[in-house]
Amino acid sequence: MEVTAKSVWNNCLEFIKDNISSQSFKTWFLPIKPLKLNGNVLSIQVPSKFFYEWLEEHYIKLLKTAITKELGEDAKLVYSIVMENTYGNSKPYTVKIPSSNRAPIKNQKVSMPVEVAGNGVKNPFIIPGLKKVNVESQLNPNYTFENFIEGDCNRLARSAGYAVSNKPGGTSFNPLMIYGGVGLGKTHLAHAIGIEIKDKYPDKTVLYVSAEKFTQQFIESIRNNTKNDFVHFYQMIDVLIIDDVQSLAGKEKTQDVFFHIFNHLHQHGRQVVLTSDRAPVDMQGMEQRLLSRFKWGLSADLQKPDLETRIAILNKKLYADGIEMPSDVIEYLAYSITSNVRELEGALISLLAQSSLNKKKITLELAKQMIDKFVKNTTREVSIDYIQKVVCDYFDMPIELLKSKTRKREIVQARQLAMYFAKQLTKSSLASIGAQCGNKDHATVLHACRTVNNLAETDKRFKVYVDDLTKKLTLN
């Protein structure tokens, strides 16, 4: 069998995959492309300088082991940095390798005239003053699966959404309920499902509408004595996507009309996708018959993005805008903003604005000032993840070692310092700190804090550790 760059790299990937987490593998290794093999020199393509620096800093030993295993002790790895998706491209950067046979996204439209739709039924999406227009599906073309970053926090919801988009109305995920807190990507995923369906099934009528808009249209139809037209219009939709369905709570008549529309669509094999800020079981003011139907399909939650996902989101955002940023700044933002995607992207935009308006270079110091000044108080607190990262960098040890059960003196001290600063700089409980520092109990955290205080008073070298880390972890 001929040895090629692709075959060598595929063998390397098999080895790497077994030695790191699934999410790390997807984020940092799947986007790499093998270019050429010249003797014992393998050339690979990475999507950015930041990407290359991250690999060199965090995975160099793993890469060296993998390539040596394939090409011998004299093996060399050469990087080629190619920004394929720079500013202005229709397809923004994504950490997943895009499929080459994917068709471009078409203009999403529902071809129904304003005055009548189907059998003389009035269309509620009337634009005043115009006699005839096509009604758009109301989908945002920027919200696609390609730029929806997948992580452990959203994998179930994304996978279910993709299954629905491949076979709308033909899976057991009907309705598909996507729920989660503010800024976690519910609306993005809902739009992505609609766009994917329109792409694969151009003849299907897809409509995205907020529950608030649906309610306004219903009230208007009662005022104009066109309730039947309103109901018939919605019953003709092939894929109905209702955003923020929890806002129907307490609106009995709107719930009643939606109940009948839902039943009709479901009975005729049409797809219904719903988003909510809470699970069906937690919805107050919603009729039980409606809640029971919400439970017919699948309810998938979106959780706060984990660290790898947050880094990938920032990476993608920077590529979409054709911007490079120092790796330590990206890390700091990802470690500091843990609440939701919206605040993470907001922090990035604030930092870019600060840099541009004040003609300042983007540095870690500028990022710290911005976090302190622009981000909400709830996110100003340093995260335990970030504290552990800073401590591990300071002592030049992998974070896995810090969280391990080893009792080596230097590792125990690093672990105790991480616990000490977590107690000082975060609002986390002792139990929570212990859980994130190697599944220790609260008593261990208390003991660590006492030990650090005692050593800082009696051991000059240890006091230097505490002082240095205090400077590194202080926001101001």
Residues 23, 79, 58, 379, Cα dihedral to 10°? -70
| pTM check: above 0.85 | no
DSSP-derived 3-state class of residue 223: helix
Give me the residue spans of the domains in the chain: 5-81, 109-140+154-302, 307-380, 384-473
Residue 173: Cβ within 10 Å count: 23
Q: What is the pLDDT of residue 7?
A: 92
Say which CATH topology domain 5-81 has: GMP Synthetase; Chain A, domain 3 (3.30.300)
Q: What is the pLDDT of residue 407?
A: 86
CB burial class (10 A; 0-12, 13-18, 19+) of residue 84? middle
Banded pLDDT at 373 (limits 50, 70, 90): low
Q: What is the DSSP letter of 85?
A: S
Q: Is the separation of the CB atoms in 230 and 218 below 8 Å?
A: yes
Q: d(Cα 87, Cα 368) in Å, to the nearest integer?
A: 27
Q: What is the pLDDT of residue 102?
A: 28
Say which CATH topology domain 307-380 has: Helicase, Ruva Protein; domain 3 (1.10.8)
Please check the confidence at residue 239 and state whether its pLDDT lies above 80: yes
Please check the confidence at residue 417 and state whether its pLDDT lies above 90: yes
Please check the confidence at residue 132 and state whether its pLDDT lies above 50: no
Q: Which helix (H) or strand (E) holds 384?
A: helix 384-395
Please check the confidence at residue 344 and state whether its pLDDT lies above 90: no
pLDDT digits (tens, 9 = 90+) for 288-309: 888 888 878 888 887 777 777 7
Radius of gyration of the chain (CA): 27
Mean pLDDT of the chain: 77
Query: Average pLDDT, stretch 88-98?
Result: 31
Contacts (Cβ under 8 Å, ≥6 apart) of 376: 343
Please check the confidence at residue 87 and state whether its pLDDT lies above 80: no
Kind of pairing between the strands at 109-110 and 271-276: unpaired
CATH number of 384-473: 1.10.1750.10
Q: What is the pLDDT of residue 476?
A: 41
Query: Average pLDDT, stretch 155-159?
Result: 83
CATH H superfamily, domain 109-140+154-302: P-loop containing nucleotide triphosphate hydrolases (3.40.50.300)
Q: Distances in Å between the alpha carbon of 280 and those of 157, 298, 303, 444?
A: 15, 11, 16, 39
Q: What is the pLDDT of residue 49?
A: 67
Banded pLDDT at 380 (limits 50, 70, 90): very low
Q: d(Cα 30, Cα 46) in Å, to the nearest integer?
A: 10
Q: What is the DSSP letter of 87?
A: T
Q: What is the pLDDT of residue 329?
A: 80
Q: Is the separation of the CB atoms in 375 and 337 below 8 Å?
A: yes
Q: d(Cα 272, Cα 411) in Å, to the nearest integer?
A: 53
Please check the confidence at residue 93 and state whether its pLDDT lies above 80: no
> Which one, of 102, 101, 103, 91, lies nearest residue 47 by Cα?
91
DSSP-derived 3-state class of residue 431: helix
